[in-house]
A and B are shown apart, each in its own frame.
Chain A
Amino acid sequence: MKYVIRGILAVLIWGHAALADAASLTPLEGLDFLRRSFQGLTDFSAELTQEKHLTILKKKLVMQGVIRFKKPDRFLMELDPPYSSKVLLKDTVLEQRLGAKGERQRIVLPPEQALSRWLGTLDKPITTVPEGMEVRADQTGRQTSVTIRPAKGGHLKELTVVLLDDGTLRRLVLEEQGGDRTVMTFRKTRKNIGLTEADFRLE
């Protein structure tokens, strides 16, 4: 379940960083800039392509879909067939349906894992890079990539975020210790479009 929350946060935090024209940032500047960029956001939607590279599978799994988010605590991800699934998080209530005929499952998260609570931590200024974490940012042409290596010992080896120069999220790459890799590419990102409760349903 922690992965679900971390994945949602990764998409949200880095999905809407309005990138300045700085060529390079220090780790602290990079993290704090991402935090500040999220504060001007009320909602967003985007089309998604998720590519999963598994070491045990010769072919990559390619999934298409959409994601939506609305402050303070709504998140939805819907993937199309043949890997159809729908995930809806309403603060502490996670609902999921896998496959066309899949049953709905509902999980109530503990209060400390509530989406609103996690997002609340983003209101606090970042004064230090967390111990053990490595951050680097590179700018190439219109794209800027921020790579974060969490403290050693975790399953996630590296997380890379690629943004266009207008702050639009282009790509999110998750690399695991075992060599498995997930690449999420976003298109048609639309911000602050007035999403309503009707946009966050599992039907």
Chain B
Amino acid sequence: MLRLLLLLFIMLLPACAGRTPVPVLESAVPGAVVETISATVVLSLRTAEKNMSARGVMLYRRPDQMRLVLLSPFGTTVMEALLHGEQLTLAYPSNGVAYRGVVKELPAASGQQGFAMLHWVLASDPPEGAPLDGLVERRTERGDLEQITLKNGLVVEKELPGGEQVRYRNHTVLSGVLLPLELQMINRDGDRIRLQLEEPEVNQPIDDQSFTLLLQGLRLLPLSELKAR
């Protein structure tokens, strides 16, 4: 009996060895792209002056809409951001104030320069015809020459001549779409921003209302007047 079990074990061993886990990334549908994301997030910011992090919710809709709500430990809203094209609105309900303007008006010392990188960061599809592994260069929508690092067909890092960097980590496949669950950004001032997606939903419909920021009761100021908090 023991010999029979041993024989069975030996016979089964190669079969088991042949069943190596299929990499989850192989379940991605070729050509499928992110149209929308809805996720809870943890956002961490480290600058020379401060180190902060907060949990919140992020919505994204291709090509250029993003809404971010950051929450206090008690669940109340600390900050809201709405990015639509180049238009950025930042609202601080507890201070009764909001700021609006084009992204390039963000003051350098506002601590919010990460928003200026966001369009570039969210464009994480590999260039057409790019190799599976290696470095390629591509011209961005704003005309900068970006350097892209690919690994196993995934964009894992991008860099701009000005020193901005983004690293894409913890890729997964949701609804057939490849999605990095962690984005690590470094802006030209050396500020480090980390965005982690939790329980994301991909390519589910998001209504227009979700990309509308209610500023009722808030004093609206130009984005150029934003100060560090």
Contact = CB atoms under 8 A, between A and B. Distances in A.
Nearest to A174: B76
Interface in A143-193: 153-156, 174, 176-178, 180, 182, 184
Contacts of B71: 52
A54 B57 contact: yes
A106 B71 CA distance: 17
Contacts of A54: 57, 69
Contacts of A105: 51-53
B105 interface: no
B217 A177 contact: yes
Nearest to B39: A57
A87 B75 CA distance: 13
Contacts of A57: 38, 57
Contact of A98 (B55, B76, B78, B210): B55
Interface string A74-87: 00010100110101
A57 B67 CA distance: 11
B54 interface: yes
A63 to B, nearest CB: 8
Nearest to A179: B214
Interface stretch (A2-10, A109-117, A122-130, A194-202): A2-10
B94 A3 contact: yes
B199 A82 contact: yes
B18 interface: no
Interface string B27-67: 00000000000101010101000011111010100000001
Interface in B100-117: none
Give the interface size bracket for A toward B: 35 or more
Nearest to A82: B198
A56 B59 contact: yes
B72 interface: yes
Given A153-B217, A177-B93, A96 B53 contact: yes
Given A2-B94, A82-B198, A102 B44 contact: yes
Nearest to A83: B55
Contact of A178 (B38, B210, B214): B214
A50 interface: yes
Interface string A1-38: 01110011011000000000000000000000000000
A154 B96 CA distance: 7
B141 to A, nearest CB: 27
A61 interface: yes
Contacts of B69: 54, 56
Nearest to B196: A99
Contacts of A55: 210
A155 B93 CA distance: 6
Highest count of chain B CB atoms <10 Å: which of A99, A107, A155, A177: A155
A103 interface: yes
Interface in A45-68: 50, 52, 54-58, 61
B57 A156 contact: no
B73 A102 contact: no
Given A52-B71, A155-B93, A180 B40 contact: no
A177 B38 contact: no
30 contacts: A3-B78, A3-B94, A7-B72, A7-B73, A7-B76, A8-B74, A54-B57, A56-B57, A56-B210, A58-B38, A61-B57, A77-B73, A79-B73, A85-B73, A96-B73, A98-B53, A99-B196, A103-B53, A153-B217, A154-B96, A155-B77, A155-B94, A155-B217, A156-B76, A174-B74, A176-B76, A177-B93, A177-B214, A178-B77, A178-B214
A-B pairs, 5 with minimum CB distance = A7-B74, A182-B75, A155-B93, A3-B72, A56-B210
Interface of B: 38, 40, 42, 44, 46, 51-55, 57, 59, 67, 69, 71-78, 93-94, 96, 196, 198-199, 210, 214, 216-217
